[in-house]
Amino acid sequence: MGNTVVVGAQWGDEGKAKITDLLAIDADIIIRYQGGCNAGHTVVANNKTFKFHLIPSGILYKNKTCIISAGTVIYPEALKKEIAGLLAENINLDGLKIHPLASITMPWHIDIDGISEDKTAKTKIGTTKKGIGPTYSDKIGRYGIKVEDLYDKEALNSKLDNILPLKNKILKEVYGLKEYSKNDILNLCNEYAEIFRPYVFWNWQEALTTALQDNKKILFEGAQGVMLDIDWGTYPFVTSSNPIAGGAATGSGLGINAIKEAVGIMKAYVTRVGEGPFISELENDIGKKIQTIGAEFGVTTGRPRRCGWFDAVIAKYAVLVSGLTSIALTKADVFDTFDEIKICIAYKDKRNGKIYNHYPTNVYMHKYLEPIYESHKGWKEDISKCTKYDELPLNAKKYLTRLEELIGIKISIISVGPNREQTIILKNPMKI
Ligand code: GDP
Ligand code: IMO
Ligand code: MG
């Protein structure tokens, strides 16, 4: 079977899209299982750079089914823009399917996300302002609108009658924002219905039942990362969905037995966009150097990404809470000119010297923790052209072996540059 889930094992932007695109060649179906257009996924293929937000990173191949599944939230305007951009590049979207149970980000979700972050928030999260938190809150609160509602006037009317008076009250009285008329929202929903219409996956039950019976290969693409997971991340500095591998089971509706391998994508260092604790962060010239060489700027918001040394404590944590079976290590090439490379192996409490070998989940005490580092000699060579493990310099091999020892699982893929070709595949999870 080899069905694989690609999971971000840090705070996002680990290179999930590059690995998804790479593995997608052996997949029949690629499923984005959570998140929304807060994601920014970069694929470099055929000398072109593609930036995906909602559409699965397997879309560049012909004859693959690419599903934006029920666990996602979709801002229709963002989807429209993304579709238009891909069509302008002559990318065939025949395989694109949007699940009727995916949730829709409505205009009030964007309003509320924007203003909560700017004005009302005491604890600023630094969200992407794409309405993610408010959309998922409404889904869980049972105030959500799903794709299928757009095609059922009765359902939509009944939901809006329930939702709008409350939303308008909140918009006006809590946030001092403008209200929405039901008529305007119904017109907007008609526009949304047209955006989705060619792609709605109405026959998902028949299609996926047959696909499973025929042993079609499925690749699940995560967005964000384990440390941004709503249940397992650095709460409340997280996103509002489940990027962990388990999220693929719920978000796709295919259950745990449809997934065999869980590949954790880890950068050779760590980055984070937005607020929240980051124990191995480097607020100095080394951090700046990583940011510059690694081009660490957000795909969705353009914000600079905070950078720090690889953190083996969170890597071990990601293995546990996501059931990772192997690692795809990306961006080791960023260290090509470094004399010294550090790995955070534990944390120390500055107040009492207590050592933490496992991740302490109370993020409010992270300010008292400092990283304990292990130092490694750099390889001082260009590894971006290596396509075989044996071509890597000895110090790079030593560093990779040490990472495996610390994390406790094997590296299956080493990425040494943004292009498809700049990859060393040690064991292809889709072929296990
Ligand atoms: P994602 O959100 O996890 O898909 O990652 P992003 O696309 O947000 O950020 C990863 C960035 O690193 C993109 O610009 C990729 O093109 C780039 N990238 C991926 N793998 C490598 C690698 O091994 N080396 C280098 N130098 N860049 C990489
Ligand atoms: P990909 O899929 C990195 C971060 C935001 C913020 C927090 C909550 O490209 O790895 P949200 O808008 O989701 O409510 O913001 O999560 N965040 C990401 N950081 N990569 C992403 O996606 C992210 N999506 C959200 O910066 O800290
Ligand atoms: Mg990204």
> Which residues are registered as beta bridge partners of 413?
328, 425
By C-alpha distance, which of 358, 328, 205 is closest to 261? 328
Q: In testing the pocket of ligand 1, which one of 6, 331, 383, 392 has its CB within 8 Å of the most ligand atoms?
A: 331
| pLDDT, tens only, 128-184 | 999 999 999 999 999 999 999 999 999 999 999 999 999 999 999 999 999 999 999
Total residue length of the chain: 432
- Residue 24 identity (one-letter amino acid): A
Q: Is the pLDDT reported for residue 120 higher than 70?
A: no
Mean pLDDT, rounded, of the chain: 96
pTM: 0.97
| pLDDT, tens only, 61-72 | 999 999 999 999
Please give the full DSSP string across 180-232, using - where no structure is assigned.
--HHHHHHHHHHHHHHHGGGB-TTHHHHHHHHHHTT--EEEE--S-GGG-TTT
- The residue nearest atom 27 of ligand 2, judged by CA position, is 274
Q: Distance, CA 82 to ligand 1 centroid (Å)?
A: 19
CA Rg value for the chain: 22
13, 370, 382 from 350: Cα distances, Å: 30, 7, 38
Q: Catalytic residue numbers?
A: 13, 41
| pLDDT, tens only, 33-91 | 999 999 999 999 989 999 999 999 999 999 999 999 999 999 999 999 999 999 999 99
By C-alpha distance, which of 45, 38, 69, 46 is closest to 56? 69
pLDDT for position 239: 98
pLDDT for position 301: 84
> Which residues are registered as beta bridge partners of 410?
none
Q: Any residues with CB less than 8 A from the CB of 176 and at least 6 apart, and which? A: none
Q: Where are the beta strands (DSSP E) in 56-160?
A: 65-68, 73-74, 96-98, 103-104
- Ligand (nearest to CA of 34): 2
| pLDDT, tens only, 11-34 | 999 999 999 999 999 999 999 999
> Which residues are registered as beta bridge partners of 265?
8, 328
Q: Distance, CA 83 to ligand 1 centroid (Å)?
A: 22
Ligand 1 atom at shortest distance from the alpha carbon of 416:
23
Q: Is the pLDDT reported for residue 121 higher than 70?
A: no
pLDDT for position 117: 79
Q: Any residues with CB less than 8 A from the CB of 210 and at least 6 apart, and which? A: none
Q: Distance, CA 39 to ligand 2 centroid (Å)?
A: 6
- The residue nearest atom 16 of ligand 1, judged by CA position, is 418
- The residue nearest atom 8 of ligand 1, judged by CA position, is 13
- Distance (Å, whole) CA 214 – CA 429: 19
